[in-house]
């Protein structure tokens, strides 16, 4: 007994964290959240590059094959994720809104996850793979900075569980010329000629080089995931930590970011940690907001009854039979699109069908890929499919895609009599969701809010950018006055 007591005492001394937290210790929770990246990881079937660290998470945990964001642009998506609520239900649906004199307040009873976990004794942090500054938040509502204790978990008390968000630049890296040049010096770059593009993009050198740089950014992201895992291992806490890896929306491309096609809303999600079955592949439909409820459940914290997120590992878990997404104003560009996606079909409703597919948008139009696409369009060098999907001057009011037969969403079946029943059923599903979730985007954004946010945006840009923005803003107002 004396020897056993000594060994127990020694183990407690060597493992103060476990001793302080006890046998029923709550896990640490780490979200790794990546900008502008689709599921181009080898565990998701990408063959041109290898991603050993994300693959490790999948091998040692659960990989979710069908995870979708509720918004295909960062600030609405992140506002939804951090509250476990649809951005449309909390008034945060317009990108970079509430930044000026007009403010957005969360509805009564809705609180960000870090605030809820902090009250449960968690140390809360938000940072990046390197550095000591607080990481990206980008919330479209008023929030208390005190809900974060620091930029990483190093400031916690001995034995205190922590909730950490690691923010990575992801697909945005490829937009940095210095990063691209340095990456080519350190590693063999992805072969642009070997890239496989979706059929609605031309095999143009600019497009191919951009996609190759994007895949290089995926590899860099994987290395940064490895940095996080290595630190957790060095500190002896990896097996006490649930790691959730996800991106905030799909690749930033013409039909990806800002749109409700799968290129914009389908994201990777991998979860590894204590209690998570290793080597699991989940094929159920998952909404990215579900990370909020799942994290609260792992922390043994109460999940608000009004929260729209689902605990993915609950004993009474019931898979979603559909996921919903929404796109509203992105920067100066006004839009209003909603979608419902089942396992097989997607229904999209364009509330502003008289507007072109690719509206003017300073942010996206500054990208070399968009500039090149517009050049090829002006020169008549795009094929019929590319012209129709990217440069149609108007949009169909409704779109319906059979995702099993048409994963790239090329053939709109909304007018096909053979799919009339499916169209009507999904049309009703979306109508019901709009009412049941109190979709605040059903009413146009007020002129006061738009002007307030545009002033902040204009004040942050260069003179050349301001001129483009002012022209685009005038176009938005003209189209709205014309009923478009």
* pLDDT average per 10 residues of sequence, the chain (484 residues): 32 37 73 98 98 98 98 98 98 98 97 98 90 89 97 95 97 89 86 97 98 96 97 97 98 98 98 96 98 98 97 97 98 98 98 98 97 98 98 98 98 98 98 98 96 98 97 98 96
The enclosing domain of 140 has a CATH number of: 3.40.720.10
Task: Order across the sheet with 323-327: list the strands.
Answer: 323-327, 337-341, 345-350, 398-402
CB atoms within 10 A of CB 23: 6
Q: Are 111 and 139 in contact (CB under 8 A)?
A: no
Does residue 87 belong to any structural domain of this protein?
yes
Does residue 125 belong to any structural domain of this protein?
yes
Q: Are 31 and 164 in contact (CB under 8 A)?
A: yes
| Alpha carbon 435 to its chain's center | 24
CA dist., res. 391 & res. 72, Å (int): 20
Burial of residue 384, with CB atoms counted within 10 A of its CB: 0-12 exposed, 13-18 middle, 19 or more buried: exposed
The structure tokens listed for 432 are 């019901």
Bridge partners of 68, per DSSP, are 266, 287
CB atoms within 10 A of CB 311: 18
Does residue 473 belong to any structural domain of this protein?
yes
Does residue 14 belong to any structural domain of this protein?
no
CA dist., res. 395 & res. 155, Å (int): 52
Cα torsion angle, 368, 369, 374, 375, sign? positive
Domain count across the chain: 1
Closest CA to 27 of 280, 209, 271, 289: 271
Does residue 12 belong to any structural domain of this protein?
no
Does residue 1 belong to any structural domain of this protein?
no
What is the rounded (10 degree) CA torsion for 325, 326, 332, 335? 130
Does residue 46 belong to any structural domain of this protein?
yes
Query: What HEC string does the chain produce?
Result: CHHHHHHHHHHHHHCHHHHHHCCCCCCEEEEEEECCCCCCCHHHCCCCCCCHHHHHHHHHCEEEEEEECCCCCHHHHHHHHHHCCCCCCCCCCCCCCCCCCCCCCCCCCCCCHHHHHHHCCCEEEEECCCCCCCCCCCCCCCCCHHHCCECCHHHCCCCCCEEEEEEECHHHHHHCHHHHHHHHHHCCCCCHHHCCCCCCCCCCHHHHHHHHHHHHHHHHHHHHHHHHHHHHHHCCCHHHEEEEEEECCCCCCCCCCCCCCHHHHEEEEEEECCCCCCCEEEEEEEECCHHHHHHHHHCCCCCCCCCCCCCCCCCCCCCECCEEEEECCECCECCCEEEEECCCEEEEEECCCCCCCCCCCHHHHCCHHHHHHHHHHHCCCCCHHHHHHHHCCCCCCEEEEECCCCCCCCCCCCCCHHHHHHHHHHHHHHHHHHHHCCCHHHCCCCHHHHHHHHHHHHHCCCHHHHHHHHHHHHHHHHHHHCCC
| Alpha carbon 302 to its chain's center | 25
| Alpha carbon 484 to its chain's center | 29
Q: What is the pLDDT of residue 112?
A: 98
Q: What is the pLDDT of residue 130?
A: 67
Residue linked to tokens 């878990």? 317
Does residue 284 belong to any structural domain of this protein?
yes
Q: What is the pLDDT of residue 183?
A: 82
CA dist., res. 484 & res. 395, Å (int): 11
Q: What is the pLDDT of residue 131?
A: 66
Task: Order across the sheet with 162-168: list the strands.
Answer: 123-127, 162-168, 28-34, 241-247, 266-272, 62-68, 280-287
Q: Which residues contact 54 (CB under 8 A, 6 or more apart)?
A: 41, 42, 43, 222, 225, 245, 268, 270
The structure tokens listed for 447 are 């002129």
What's the whole-model pTM score?
Answer: 0.94
Cα torsion angle, 74, 78, 84, 90, sign? negative
Identify the domain containing residue 316 by its residue range. 26-484
């Amino acid at each position: 007994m004396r020897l056993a007591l000594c060994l127990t005492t020694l183990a407690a001394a060597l493992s103060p964290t476990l001793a302080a937290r006890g046998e029923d210790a709550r896990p640490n929770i780490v979200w790794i959240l990546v900008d502008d990246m689709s599921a181009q990881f080898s565990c998701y079937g990408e063959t041109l590059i290898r991603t050993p660290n994300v693959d490790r998470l999948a091998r040692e945990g659960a990989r979710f094959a069908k995870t979708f964001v509720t918004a295909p642009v960062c600030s609405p998506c992140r506002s939804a994720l951090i509250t476990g609520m649809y951005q449309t239900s909390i008034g945060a649906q317009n990108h970079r809104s509430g930044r000026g004199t007009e403010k957005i307040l969360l509805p009564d009873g809705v609180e960000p996850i870090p605030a809820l976990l902090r009250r449960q004794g968690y140390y809360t942090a938000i940072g990046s793979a390197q550095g000591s500054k607080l990481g990206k938040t980008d919330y479209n509502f008023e929030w208390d900075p005190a809900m974060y204790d620091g930029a990483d978990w190093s400031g916690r008390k001995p034995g205190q569980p922590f909730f950490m968000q690691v923010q990575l630049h992801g697909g945005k890296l490829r937009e940095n010329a210095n990063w691209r040049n340095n990456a080519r010096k350190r590693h063999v770059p992805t072969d642009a000629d070997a890239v496989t593009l979706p059929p609605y993009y031309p095999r143009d050198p600019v497009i191919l080089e951009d996609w190759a740089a994007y895949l290089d950014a995926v590899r860099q992201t994987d290395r940064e995931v490895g940095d996080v895992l290595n630190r957790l291992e060095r500190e002896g806490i990896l097996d006490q930590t649930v790691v959730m890896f996800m991106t905030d929306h799909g690749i930033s491309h013409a039909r990806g970011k800002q749109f409700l096609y799968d290129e914009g809303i389908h994201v990777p999600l991998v979860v590894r940690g204590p209690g998570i079955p290793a080597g699991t592949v989940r094929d159920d439909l998952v909404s990215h907001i579900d990370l909020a409820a799942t994290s609260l459940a792992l922390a043994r914290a109460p999940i608000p009854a009004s929260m729209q997120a689902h605990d993915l590992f609950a004993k009474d878990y019931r898979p979603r039979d559909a996921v919903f997404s929404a796109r509203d104003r992105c920067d100066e560009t006004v839009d209003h699109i909603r979608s419902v996606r089942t396992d097989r079909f997607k229904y999209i409703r364009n509330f502003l069908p008289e507007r072109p597919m690719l509206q003017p948008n300073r942010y996206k139009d500054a990208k070399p890929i968009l500039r090149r696409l517009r050049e090829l369009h002006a020169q008549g060098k795009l094929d019929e499919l590319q012209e129709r999907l990217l440069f149609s001057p108007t949009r169909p009011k409704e779109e319906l895609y059979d995702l099993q037969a048409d994963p790239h969403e090329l053939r709109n079946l909304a007018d096909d009599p053979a799919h009339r029943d499916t169209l009507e059923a999904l049309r009703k599903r979306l109508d019901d969701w709009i009412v049941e979730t109190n979709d605040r985007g059903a009413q146009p954004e007020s002129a006061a809010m738009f002007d307030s946010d545009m002033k902040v945006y204009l004040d942050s840009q260069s003179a050349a950018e301001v001129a483009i923005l002012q022209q685009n803003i005038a176009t938005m107002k003209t189209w709205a006055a014309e009923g478009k």
